[in-house]
Amino acid sequence: MDEIQRRDKKMKRTSYFEIYWIDAKGKMLGRYVIQLFQEENVTFGGRIEELTQEVRSVNLTDGIRLRTKVHMSCPSDANPIPLGIYLWSDGRMNRNRFKRHLTCRINGSEPHHFQMHTGIPVVGQDFVGRENTFTQIIDIIRSGSCHLSAPRRYGKTSILYRIEEVITNTVFVDLCEVRSLNGFMRILIRRLMADPNTHTLLEQIDETRNWPTTDSSNEAVSEAFKRFDRRGINHGALVQKMLQVLSEAGFVLLLDEFSIFLRSMLEDQPQAVGSFLRELKQIRLAGKPLRCIFAGSAGLSAYILFHKLEGYFDDLTVLELPPLSTPEAETLVEELFYGAGKTPSPQVVSRVIECIGAPIPYFLQTLVHETVAQIRLEETPEPEDVTRAYLERLLGPTGNIFFRDFLLREKAYPKACRTGASAILHALAETQGPMAEEDLSVRFNAAVGNTEACNFADLMTCLQEDYDLIYENNFWVMRSKVLAERWRLGEPWLMGDK
């Protein structure tokens, strides 16, 4: 039993506030019944007046009108909702949440119960905001391909999942564990065989004709791949055939963690990289192009610059994914608390956003999760609980797990650049504000010495994407307050750090 249910159970007297909506002819289209409990400081009349005012402020589509009724007993065919889910912890109405839920019901769907997604992609209705970014991506892929660019943990993978949910004829491929063209071939085949609509594409290729379906046994699939190995199939050539078939069928290819795959290719199959990227670009520019969306939390631009691969990607439209807006962040934080069975206050929501700084979805999710985890089941979160969770569970030793991704991805930088990168990041974190590029260059040169193995300008471009740096008017600043404070604690994330 969560906090809201415990509180409502203590209240004895009840009444029921019914909201129903009708069309222009007076036909009833739907209803929403809210159960009101006797409260110490608010009368039934006061609550009914508040609810009535909020109902009147809801924007309606043409022809729909709202009506209200008050009942002393529950209507027989109603499924009442307790008023407590629309109150802040101090008992005031959470007006925005009430209107969001009411609008949702008028539009024909149930209000969503949010779940925590700390460190994993957000799917379905747990996805909040980003509508402008989503619209921009749709516009780009109508005629070309996109590089979805953002620092780590900004929600690029969640955006790709959202695109897959909404757009037909998409193929999502996660390349985080793929190190070769053979691996690329295998994961692409498995993705195409998983859906009857895409499995038919395998029938158009000689090498994959009569390929097992998704309901085939694991043994049948393994034997099919073994036949490949015995025949000595050219992995690169087969990948190109599959991409060509996707192109001709009008599919959009969603490539997540492409930069990790590219790094592995450069390490293990450097001779094959140029040919693969050249042919992939040719397919993107063909008469019927294969539209692609590239994303990668290690920073695709880092590899393009370090390895001089600009010519293979200059057709992409770069779209930068910003942090959430403040209203989006507020909605996410409050819904996460309610979803966990906790009633927040506006001060608690504000404190979460204040601690995190730039509202990065991953860190918002993390702080709400840790705040809920440290208080007892019957307790209501307070601003000081948020502060304690931030200092002890994010910035303290127990928070190391939340920064594991940054630690594991340090190999993205050549050895010669790691020491310089560490010096730059520490300088920005310690400054706690904008720092002139000239001063950063001095720190960089002092750290790396006289070497041509790492270029300051290229390194700054990579750090800008990988560690959320902002450049403006010849000054740099570390945008993420959380990352800056972790660096001030002396985290040895890069090999060159002491």
The span from the first CA to the last CA of the chain, in angstroms, equals 49
The residue ranges of the chain whose pLDDT is under 50 are 11, 494-498
372 assigned to some structural domain = no
Domain boundary among 253, 288, 320: 320
84 assigned to some structural domain = yes
447 assigned to some structural domain = yes
User: Do 244 and 304 reside in the same domain of the chain?
Assistant: yes
Given a contact cutoff of 8 angstroms between Cβ atoms, the answer to whether 83 and 42 are in contact is no
User: Do 92 and 140 reside in the same domain of the chain?
Assistant: no
User: Do 71 and 147 reside in the same domain of the chain?
Assistant: no
Quote the pLDDT of residue 498. 43
Domain boundary among 277, 297, 320: 320
Quote the pLDDT of residue 153. 82
Quote the pLDDT of residue 397. 82
Quote the pLDDT of residue 411. 60
DSSP 400-442: GGGGHHHHHGGGGS-HHHHHHHHHHHHHHHHHTS-EEHHHHHH
User: Do 271 and 308 reside in the same domain of the chain?
Assistant: yes
138 assigned to some structural domain = yes
User: Do 289 and 187 reside in the same domain of the chain?
Assistant: yes
379 assigned to some structural domain = no
Q: What is the CATH number of the domain that holds 451?
A: 1.10.10.10
Half-sphere exposure of 209 toward its Cβ, with a 13 Å CA cutoff? 4
127: nearest Cα among 97, 163, 92: 163
Quote the pLDDT of residue 17. 92
User: Do 182 and 80 reside in the same domain of the chain?
Assistant: no
User: Do 301 and 163 reside in the same domain of the chain?
Assistant: yes
User: How many domains is the chain built from?
Assistant: 3
Helix, strand and coil in the chain, % to nearest 5: 55, 15, 35
256 assigned to some structural domain = yes
Q: What is the CATH number of the domain that holds 134?
A: 3.40.50.300
Widest pairwise Cα distance in the chain: 83
User: Do 137 and 211 reside in the same domain of the chain?
Assistant: yes
User: Do 38 and 148 reside in the same domain of the chain?
Assistant: no
User: Do 199 and 292 reside in the same domain of the chain?
Assistant: yes
- Residues contacting residue 176 through CB under 8 Å, at least 6 positions apart: 256, 257, 260, 261
Quote the pLDDT of residue 494. 46
Coil, helix or strand for 12?
A: coil
d(CA 67, CA 213): 53
Q: What predicted TM-score, i.e. pTM, was given to this entire model?
A: 0.84
163 assigned to some structural domain = yes
> Tell me: the pLDDT tens digits for 258-313?
888 887 888 888 888 889 999 999 999 998 999 999 987 555 776 787 778 889 99
Tally of CB atoms within 10 A around 453: 10
User: Do 312 and 459 reside in the same domain of the chain?
Assistant: no
356 assigned to some structural domain = no
Could you tell me how many helices (H) and strands (E) the chain has, helices first?
21, 12
Domain that residue 15 falls in: 3-106
Quote the pLDDT of residue 115. 83
User: Do 65 and 174 reside in the same domain of the chain?
Assistant: no
> Tell me: the pLDDT tens digits for 305-335?
777 888 999 999 989 888 999 999 999 999 9
Domain boundary among 73, 106, 139: 106
